[in-house]
Structure 1
Amino acid sequence: MPRTAVEDNQRMNLRVPPEVKSRLARAASLNHLDLTSFVTQAALREADAVIAAAEKIKLSEDSYLRVLSLLENPPEPNEKLLAAAKAMPKSV
C-alpha cells in the first residue's frame, strides 16, 4: 500500500539499481556536487521543462491571427452565453 506524502518531510527515497546509482554518483563527482544536489538539479531542470511545455499553447499563424481578431472584435453574446452569465452567482 503506498504511503501518503508528508508535506513537511524533506526526504525523498529512491530505489535504483546499483549501476544507476554508480553512474549518477560519478556524474555528480565530475560536476563537483554531492549526489543529492546533482539529482535534485537534474530533476528540477526536467520538471521545469515539463511544466513549461504543459503551460504553453501552440497555435498556427492562422489560429493566432484569429484569436487576436476575436480579442479585438469579440462577437455579440449568444443566448447560451447570456443564460450562463445570468446563472452566475453574484460576486461580493
Structure 2
Amino acid sequence: MTKHQPILKRDPAETKGSINLRVEGQTRRLIDDAAAVLGKTRTEFMVESARRQAIDVLLDQQMFVLDPARYDAFVAALDHPPAPGPKLKALLRRVPVWQK
C-alpha cells in the first residue's frame, strides 16, 4: 500500500489576477513606446516597472546602508537624542483631533 501525498494548494499570492487601469491616451502611447524599445509587451513593461518600483519603496522603508563613520554617528544620535525643543513640547501638549 502506498501513501497518498496531500494535494498542494496554491498560495493565493501565486495565482494570477488582473489590474485594470484607466490612463490618458498620451500616457498609454508613452508606455507602449517604451515597451517597444525594450521588446516587451505593455503588460510585461508595466508589471516589471511596477514591481521594481514596489521593491524600491519597500526597501527604502526597511534597509539603508551607511559607511562606518556615518553608522557610528547614526547610532550616537539614537543613543543621545537632543532634548525636546519648544515646538515639540507644544505639540505634545495639544489635544489630538480625535480626542476633541
Both proteins in one fold, TM over 0.5: yes
Which of 50, 62, 67 is matched with 2:73 structurally? 62
Return the letter of the residue paired with 1:46.
Answer: Q
Matched, 1:38 2:45: yes
Residue matched to 1:85: none
Q: TM-score, normalised by structure 1?
A: 0.55
Paired position in structure 1 for 2:21: 14
Aligned residues: 63
Cα RMSD, aligned residues only: 3.0
Matched, 1:23 2:30: yes
Deviations 1:51-75 (A, max 9, x none): 00011267852343687xxxxxxxx
Q: Does 1:50 align with 2:61?
A: no
Give the Cα separation in 2 of the matches to 1:32 and 1:63: 44
Unaligned runs of 5+ in 2: 1-12, 79-100
Which residue number corresponds to residue 71 of structure 1? none
Supply the distance in 2 between the matched residues of 1:58 and 1:12 (Cα, whole angstroms): 34
Deviation at 1:47, TM superposition (A): 0.4
